[in-house]
Amino acid sequence: MKGTYHTDPNVFLYPVLYSEIEEAEKAKDILARIESKEIQAYTSTLTWDEISYVTEMVLGKTDAVEIGKKFINFPFLRFVTVDDEIIRRSQVIRERYHLKPRDSIHLSCAIERNILEIITDDTDFDGIKEIKRYP
C-alpha cells in the first residue's frame, strides 16, 4: 500500500482504545507507514475533535489531552482545514449519499485535496463514486 490517502479517525483511535483487536494492529501498521513516508496521509482538522472527544469519554480528560497532543504532532500527517467551502460541499455530499455529517466532512476534505482513497473501517463509504475505501 503506497500512495496518498485520507485517513479516518478510527486509524488513530483503534491503537489507543482497542489494542487487543486485529484492526488495532492494522492501524498501527498504517501509522508506521505514514511515519516512514510510505503513505502520504491527510485528515480533516475535525479529526482532532473526534479523537479528543472519544478518548475523553473512554479514558478521561487527562489521557485525552495527551492523545490529542500526540495526534497533532504525528509525523508527516497533513491536515485539511474545514472551511466554508468544505462545509458547503459536505452538505451536498450528505444529501446525495445520506452520510453522517462528520463522514460528509471527511469525504469533502478528501475531495478538496483530490484524494481518491480513504483508509477507514466505516462501511458507509462503500459505493461512493468519489472515493475508494480501504479497511
Q: pLDDT tens digits for 63-115?
A: 999 999 999 999 999 999 999 999 999 999 999 999 999 999 999 999 999 99
Beta-bridge mates of residue 80: 44
Number of H helices, E strands in the chain: 6, 5
Q: Is residue 132 part of a domain?
A: no
Q: Is residue 37 part of a domain?
A: yes
Q: Is residue 117 part of a domain?
A: yes
Domain at 90, CATH number? 3.40.50.1010
Q: What is the pLDDT of residue 2?
A: 85
Beta-bridge mates of residue 119: 7, 134
Q: Is the pLDDT of residue 1 over 80?
A: no
Q: Residue 24: which domain range?
A: 3-125
105 close to 85: Cβ distance less than 8 angstroms: no
What are the φ and ψ backbone dihedral angles of 54, each rounded to 5 degrees? -65, -45
Q: Is residue 31 part of a domain?
A: yes
Percent of the chain with pLDDT over 70: 99
Total domains in the chain come to: 1
Q: What is the pTM of this model?
A: 0.92
Secondary structure letter of residue 75 according to DSSP: T
Sign of the torsion angle spanned by Cα atoms 23, 27, 33, 39: positive
Q: Is residue 18 part of a domain?
A: yes
